[in-house]
Structure 1
Amino acid sequence: MARGLFITFEGGEGAGKSTQIKRLADKLRAKGYGLTVTREPGGSPGAEAVRHVILSGAAESFGPKMEALLFAAARSDHIEQVIRPAIERGNIVLCDRFVDSSRVYQGGAGNLEPEFMATIERVSVNGMMPDLTLIFDIDPAMGLERATVRRGDEVADRFEKETLEIHRKRREAYLEIAREEPERCVVIDAAQKPHDVEDVVTAAVFAALEAHAGAAGDRAQEA
């Protein structure tokens, strides 16, 4: 069975990732692709329990290093219980946030040592890196305004409530990742109208699928 394709969606608060994941998932299902849609923190029963601890702010008082370790533990469980089995079945996996969120939220904006972040990333990911990462780029002020409207009467979560300056640092950290890994990352202007964003997402994903299928065919011929 051919290996599946692992696609992650990244970006700041209010960038519209969830909307675009749903639209893309509908298109892929309509074309008959095997599909797994998941998220972080969370995605597996153990990781969902950790998600509640993190987003409620219960771990905030222990500092960014403890939060990073919690994220890493949740990610390890998520990968081994959900992502890796789906990829091995040949599914396309769409994941709302993944390792780049930890790099940005705990590493860059959290000021944790690069060596520490690299170590826990290596252990938790265990080789399961995305084939394609879509980074939804938006001015943080606009993103937070969108997030406020979306949230309604609900309380802002652990990350939404932080200062605009922190959100700006996160945006720059995402763009730096994209500059460092252009072969994996595609930056998308998330300030566009949703259907325009959708067109860019669709083009990027189907190009990746075509390349993936071509590479699989080459490997089959070599075998």
Structure 2
Amino acid sequence: MTTRFITFEGPDGAGKDSVLDIVIPQVREHLHRELVVTREPGGDHIAEQIRDLILDPDNKAMDERTEALLYAASRRQHLQAVIEPALARGGVVICDRFVDSSIAYQGAGRGIGEQAVADLNGFATNGRTPDLTIYLDVPAAVGLERIRTHRKNQQYDRLDQEEAAFHERVHDAYLRLVHNNPQRIVTVDATAALQDVAAETLSILRAHLAGDWQ
């Protein structure tokens, strides 16, 4: 199968944004197909409004299942408005987070249940799964320290404010997803230097997009 739907995953502090900032311009330069780069939650003007609601630090009273349902609703809108049309045109989609994030954060982190969240999102996505997922792995403690170091006076969102045990559960769930999906998920050690992480990530993308890479 041609690799056209690619997702990036990782716990908070894994450095996804920094890696994507380095990698995406090089992918655009070498890829023969249309490239659509997007994110979750969000990616569409309706889904972005749901994102604001989910991550607003003032919404501390939000119920865990409400949160999971809002993520799934945002994902459905994003999928139908952005991802599926791009794939139908023959383009390549790179998405920052997808269903794996909900399984890890809401299923494990919030304690709702990983299978329950997977089932909910199976309905939302009508079974659409990525062809390739690049998982940037850092221990929870490392990720949280990076957040504290780099955010400085910036406001933390609702998930950043969670206790360390929450982030440990998220990390453990990601490792289970990696173990259970070896053909889809490729792990990159994100504790390495940023340039090394970006170089390894680009090498993975080049290999999976070889037929469309010039």
Q: Give matches, 1:27-176, under 5 Å.
A: 27-33=26-32, 34-57=34-57, 59-176=59-176
* Structure 1: gaps (5+ residues): 215-223
Q: Is structure 2 residue 9 aligned with structure 1 residue 10?
A: yes
Quote the Cα distance in structure 2 between the aligned partners of 1:158 and 1:131.
30
Aligned residues: 211
Question: Shift of residue 118 of structure 1?
Answer: 3.0
Quote the Cα distance in structure 2 between the aligned partners of 1:152 and 1:57.
16
Q: Which amino acid aligns with 2:124?
A: S
1:3 and 1:89 in contact (8 A); partners too: no
2:9 and 2:96 in contact (8 A); partners too: yes
Q: CA distance change for structure 1 residues 204 and 32 in 2, over 3 Å: closer, same or farther?
A: closer
CA displacement, residues 190-215 of structure 1 (integer Å, 9 cap, x when unaligned): 000011101211121112113xx49x
- Identity among equivalent pairs (%): 38
Quote the Cα distance in structure 2 between the aligned partners of 1:61 and 1:190.
33
Backbone CA RMSD of aligned residues: 1.9
1:3 and 1:87 in contact (8 A); partners too: no
1:60 and 1:67 in contact (8 A); partners too: no
Question: Shift of residue 150 of structure 1?
Answer: 2.9
Q: Which amino acid aligns with 2:8?
A: F
Question: Shift of residue 114 of structure 1?
Answer: 4.4
Quote the Cα distance in structure 1 between the aligned partners of 2:62 and 2:141.
28
Larger radius of gyration: 1
CA displacement, residues 159-181 of structure 1 (integer Å, 9 cap, x when unaligned): 11111121111111101100000
Q: Which fold has the larger relative contact order, with Cα–Cα distance below 8 Å and residues 6 or more apart in sequence?
A: 2
Q: CA distance change for structure 1 residues 202 and 3 in 2, over 3 Å: closer, same or farther?
A: closer
* Structure 2: gaps (5+ residues): none
